[in-house]
Amino acid sequence: MSLGTTSAASGGQLDDQTPLTLDASNVSVSFRSPRGGWNTVVDSIGLGLERSQVTVLLGESGSGKTVFARTITGMAHPAAKVEGTVEFDGVELLSADRRALRRLHGDRIGMVPQDPNSSLDPMRRIGGQITETLLQHGKAPNRAAALVRATELLELVHIADPERVLHNYPHEISGGMRQRVAIAIAICCEPELIIADEPSSALDASVGVQVVRLLDDLRERMETAILFITHDIGIAALIASKPHDRVAVMLGGRIVELGFAHQVLHNAQHEYTRALLAAEPSANTPRGELAVVPDEVRMRRDWGPLRDVEPGHAVASTPQEVTA
């Protein structure tokens, strides 16, 4: 497979010709159950991320998307039991110490949160928060240069009157502008990888679309890999806009379908993906006839390993296919 990802049909081997920004292999995350034993919330996921490519993690709430994304950047919950390997430019993130992770986060790995209020300090002005990141990672020689760069960054994320916004506190600007500021902080060091966790879900629909288009534009300019987490099929189609972009559908902690966006969104092969797409409302949906994902599909956990159905497109096997 020339996807920069583990190939189910080839036993999880990677295509040697594909340059990877990050390579996650057989990643599992478990939490101790109150009744004893462990509950697995991410189950043996392999995924490779390429520069200038968007990979969408698509699935319902509780499917394990955010846990997987945080884990592969070395930010797993302290109580989690984590297995597998994640390599980022020769650094094994799952076993890296805090100092190594601090050097990477903000510098070479940027994070865009679902709610910018969780990442912006309400007691500090916008300008101080951006300049601190630039100075901390050595991207500006002094505060004056950092302020100039901060202004450029706000212009880059299409904020009008950036000089004024630099002097604002987060509560003095709109939610959409706060999200743009969070993106400016995430990209200020020109990272090779951006993790965007539902960055549009807390915004009005039109503002959310603007934020998604902004991220799409920035990855083109910076050749950054983006891992984009969403439960919204329309947003997935919008951000995975290039022929080489991919969609990974998650269910119960596993990837059940993986392929280029046009394959997964327009030629879905897994029954869960088809049910998920069918449940997406549209202008043609009659009132009172909204489809739902059947419980017998949503609750299944006995899917087999991924198998290739066409070049670049793999789906989880059924138990019958595994034993056949």
CA distance 83 to 27: 6
Give me the pLDDT at residue 100, please.
86
Give me the pLDDT at residue 92, please.
92
Domain boundaries, the chain: 109-188
Give me the pLDDT at residue 296, please.
83
User: pLDDT per residue over 301-317, tens digit each?
Assistant: 888 899 999 999 999 98
CA distance 5 to 175: 35
Strand order in the sheet with 81-88: 38-49, 22-32, 81-88, 91-92
DSSP 12-71: TPPPTTS--SEEEEEEEEEEE-TTSSEEEEEEEEEEEE-TT-EEEEE--TTSSHHHHHHH
Give me the pLDDT at residue 3, please.
39
User: pLDDT per residue over 101-148, tens digit each?
Assistant: 888 888 899 999 888 888 899 999 999 999 999 999 999 999 999 999
> pTM surpassing 0.95?
no
Name the stretches of the chain with pLDDT < 50. 1-16, 322-324
